[in-house]
Structure 1
Amino acid sequence: IFIIAFSYYVFRFFWAIQQAIEIKVDEYSQEMHRSISECSKSYLDNRCTPGDRVPALEKVCSQWE
């Protein structure tokens, strides 16, 4: 019985670590998606497409690309 209980707690420990990692990866993915969305919106809002680009925004637009 001791071995079964020990195995269970070891399993739960590693399962908890896996869950924590999955949560962090999901948070990171959501943050990256939000950042990409903001960047894309800024690019379009400021008319950074090559034909519409204002020279004063050249550097900023290049960063958003």
Structure 2
Amino acid sequence: MREQLKSKLDKMQMEVIRDCQNVEDVQLMLGIFSQMNEALNQIPDTMNKPKGAKRGRKPKNAENNA
């Protein structure tokens, strides 16, 4: 979960920085995103998905049901 959120946050950061009009705005946004990254680092490892097989049932195949 942490990696997924970090990836989305990085994309959002690039979009926001592109829209900034001056250096002060860029510095302000970088500070805010830095704080958000620190908050992401506080997500406990137990909330991350376990690596390996995915959980859940596979969808039923229509060919096998006929």
Q: TM-score, normalised by structure 1?
A: 0.35
Q: TM-score, normalised by structure 2?
A: 0.35
Question: Which has the bigger relative contact order, CA under 8 A and spacing at least 6?
Answer: 2
- Give the number of the structure whose alpha-carbon radius of gyration is greater: 1
- Higher normalized helix content (fraction of residues): 1
